[in-house]
Amino acid sequence: MNSPAGNEVNSGILRQVMPFDWSTPPGKAVLWQRDMSRRVILCPLPEPQVVAGIDVAYSAGGTNGYAAAVVMTLPKLKIVETQSEKFEIRYPYRPGLLAMREGPVTAAVLKKLTRRPDVIIFDGAGIAHPRRFGIASHFGVLFDIPTIGCAKTALLSVVGELGPKRGDFAPILLEAEVLGAALCTRPGVQPVHVSPGHRVDLACTIDLVLATTTKYRLPEPIRQAHRLANSLRAKDRQ
């Protein structure tokens, strides 16, 4: 959908470099997260030119998941590619294990991309996670690509007050370490909870979220992905 010839699948632009069993039971998945978090790399992100956003919508009852990916240029935020995928959702939602639930359909849509993003924004946590391995970190390590997490609500609590101006933020701590931030993207609206996923640092994460946020609370890539996922679900049921 939207690729030049209209039907390229698995162009290989994005490769999963590490195998993973999405049916791994919760207990083992938790241990795996703790172990894999050691592979997360925090470093500056070279000036990104292309950014992607991913989101998943669910059918009534949560039987099916519709994943959408939107790729845009920076700093113009011009959409250059969109892809989508539909999968049956088999894993139950458990705080801290979102990647297990949304992983299969998300991996599938990522593999459809023909444009390689310099960084991918996920709707959820990066390292601001109980085991420092939210969905953004999970996909960053699996695909060896820079990722960030941008959640609408907190998984880990925010420490301190944050100012009311765009760009103001308050730290998210775990064991006295700053992992992320509650960031004001627009005055007068609830902050977003951001954290590095992989191959970026917190400063670059904040810069990217501000660079992709225009007149809405959420970064354009995930906002557009959200809209696309919802429209696909709507089209599918009628």
Partner DNA sequence: GCGACAG
Partner DNA sequence: ATCTTGTCGC
Pick one of 56, 108, 119, 120: the residue that binds DNA (CB under 7 A): 56
- Nearest distance in Å: CB 92, DNA: 8
- Is residue 62 within the footprint of DNA (CB under 7 A)? yes
Sign of the CA dihedral with 34 first, then 102, 150, and 154 last: negative
* Residue closer to DNA, measured from CB, 112 or 132: 132
Interacting stretch for DNA, rule CB under 7 A, among 105-113, 128-136, 170-178, 199-207?
Answer: 128-136
Distance CA 218, CA 222 (A): 7
Interface residue with DNA, options 12, 19, 27, 95 (CB under 7 A): 95
Task: For residue 166, give the nearest of 180, 184, 181 by alpha carbon.
Answer: 184
180 touches DNA (CB under 7 A): no
Tell how strand 50-58 and strand 119-122 pair up: parallel
22 counts as binding DNA under rule CB under 7 A: no
Reference 53, options 186, 174, 147; nearest CA is: 147
Which of 144, 237, 136, 108 is closest to 196 using CA atoms?
A: 136
**Of 7, 19, 78, 153, which lies in the binding site for DNA, with binding defined by CB under 7 A?**
153
- # residues near DNA by CB under 7 A: 29
Question: Tokens representing 80?
Answer: 């250059």
Report helix, strand or coil for 36: helix
User: By the criterion CB under 7 A, which residues form the site for DNA?
Assistant: 55-58, 60, 62, 93, 95-99, 123-125, 129, 134-136, 149, 151-155, 157, 193, 230, 233
